[in-house]
Amino acid sequence: MSDTGGIVPDTLKILVAGGFGAGKTTLVAALSEVESLHTEEVMTEESTGVDDLQGVEDKTTTTVALDFGRITLDERTVIYMFGTPGQGRFSFMWDELAEGALGAIVLADTRRLAECFEAIDFCEQRHLPFVVAVNCFDGHRSHVPEDVRVALDLDAGVPVMLCDARERESVKAVMVDLVSHVLQLELSGA
């Protein structure tokens, strides 16, 4: 008998995507109720000239496959989070990770905003509902969500919010916004 009293839980799958160095691994770790799984590898000289470190010069590791975390909402509902690698050279894995996903959180770093275009295009092309969460590193909130919306040329219906990927309550609010967004789309028939 399972720890849910014999009840088979409903599972929801959420994709966490975004550019290289945006904070996806940090977001999954902050929100997961279990120790999150990361496929982080130390960046070597082989990545010199391949991975652009401008704006993230102190970055020493990178996700090469996925990040994984879990959140139990209640005895009936469990959310599984799958974080994608950020570099385009690993994008071949995104389709597999997105298979069956309810929606996606696209994490944006305003220091490197262009890095999240590929994740946004990916979601739009697959009609995968998504929200954009602007990661405010070190509590620095230099942009308002509407400015980010314009810069990313997002549809008016795509929620954009500020968050701190290190803070559980902050990323919990992002998750709630994503699920609310998906429910609104379902109810409207979009």
How is 18-74 classified by DSSP, letter by letter? ESTTSSHHHHHHHH-SSPPEEEEEE--GGGTTTS--TT-TT--EEEEEEEEEEEEEE
Domain-embedded: residue 2: no
- State pLDDT tens for residues 33-88: 977 655 555 545 655 555 555 555 565 555 545 788 999 888 888 999 999 886 66
Reported as a pLDDT band with limits 50, 70 and 90, residue 4 is very low
If one counts every other C-beta atom within 10 angstroms of the C-beta of residue 39, the result is 14
The whole domain housing 121 covers: 10-188
Most confident of 26-40, 46-60, 83-97, 112-126: 112-126
pLDDT at position 189 is: 82
CATH code for position 117:
3.40.50.300
Domain-embedded: residue 148: yes
Task: Indicate the SS3 state at residue 7.
Answer: coil
Residue 118 has pLDDT above 60, yes or no: yes
Bigger pLDDT: 23 or 48?
23
* Mean of pLDDT values over 143-158: 93
Domain-embedded: residue 159: yes
Whether the Cβ atoms of residue 63 and residue 17 lie closer than 8 Å to each other: no
Task: Indicate the SS3 state at residue 151.
Answer: helix
Q: How many domains, in total, are found in the chain?
A: 1
Domain-embedded: residue 53: yes
Domain-embedded: residue 4: no
Domain-embedded: residue 143: yes
Domain-embedded: residue 56: yes
pLDDT at position 1 is: 34
Reported as a pLDDT band with limits 50, 70 and 90, residue 158 is very high
